[in-house]
Amino acid sequence: MKIAVVSDIHANLAALQAVLADIDAVAPDAVIWHTGDIVGYNAEPNEVIALLRERSAAGVMGNHDAAVLGELDVSWFNPEAAAAVKWTATHLTPENATWLHALPKISEMGAATLVHGSPREPLGEYVIDAEGARENLLALPTPVLFHGHTHVPAYWALRGGQSSLIDIDGRAQRLLSPSLINVGSVGQPRDGDVRASWVLWDRSDDGSAIGALGTVQWRRVSYDIARTQSGVRAAGLPEFLAERLAAGQ
């Protein structure tokens, strides 16, 4: 069984279309999961949601999704993010708002858990250091967690009771211990690589035992950045949101 996991699309239709094309090329029968932040920052929220619904993508809510629905205080958002939340809230169709509202904040999918931030803080925590990773690994209800939120791909594994940051080299890597898999961002990468990021989880069997979890592979996909930037500018969203796409920050 193959599963394509995406995160932090942020209303970037061009990036999502490029990622879906890559999924269709390398794993045409893959199930699609997402770990939230479908909207925010960019200017095509309704089109992105429509495409995810068309592909029967299953997943969870992110903090920007919750903020657009009025379920999360944006006072701690930076001004550009808050402006995008306000814009999105006025442009999202009622039907798509209802779809976003129905997303759970955490979801167990067999051997994997889906969440935007972390199991202990689904909408808030950025897992960026060894101690935070260790605490979340020890609290995992399943052998594998797929998440996003930081917009930076990362692979933390529990080894001897401690968290280890595993190098990501673009090849398929076997899952041998409890793992946190940050799939990176489709719509606004922040690791210096402007290409959209997604993860292919190739299950070795239908079991959930450690050692029978298959492999994960991070893939990077080029997309038409200028097209997304034009949409941001035409919508009157902050210029910084357009500029950062070309910097991968």
- Residue-wise pLDDT for 101-152, tens only, equals 999 999 999 999 999 999 999 999 999 999 999 999 998 999 999 999 999 9
pLDDT in tens, 33-43: 999 999 999 99
pLDDT in tens, 44-81: 999 999 999 999 999 999 999 999 999 999 998 999 99
Kindly give the interhelix angle for 79-91 and 45-54, rounded to the nearest 10 degrees. Answer: 70
pLDDT for residue 190 is more than 80: yes
SS3 label, residue 103: coil
How far is residue 189's CA from residue 195's CA, in Å, rounded to a whole number?
Answer: 7
Q: Two tokens at 198?
A: 């997604």
Q: CA–CA distance from 125 to each of 118, 129, 147, 149, 181 (Å)?
A: 6, 11, 11, 8, 15
Report pLDDT for 169.
87
Report pLDDT for 211.
55
- List beta partners, residue 217: 200
Q: CA–CA distance from 147 to each of 94, 162, 190, 233 (Å)?
A: 27, 19, 15, 29
Q: pTM for the whole thing?
A: 0.95
Determine the average pLDDT of the residues in 203-232: 83
SS3 label, residue 37: coil
Q: For the chain, what is the mean pLDDT?
A: 95
How far is residue 74's CA from residue 128's CA, in Å, rounded to a whole number?
Answer: 22
> Domains of the chain (ranges plus CATH)?
2-246 (3.60.21.10)
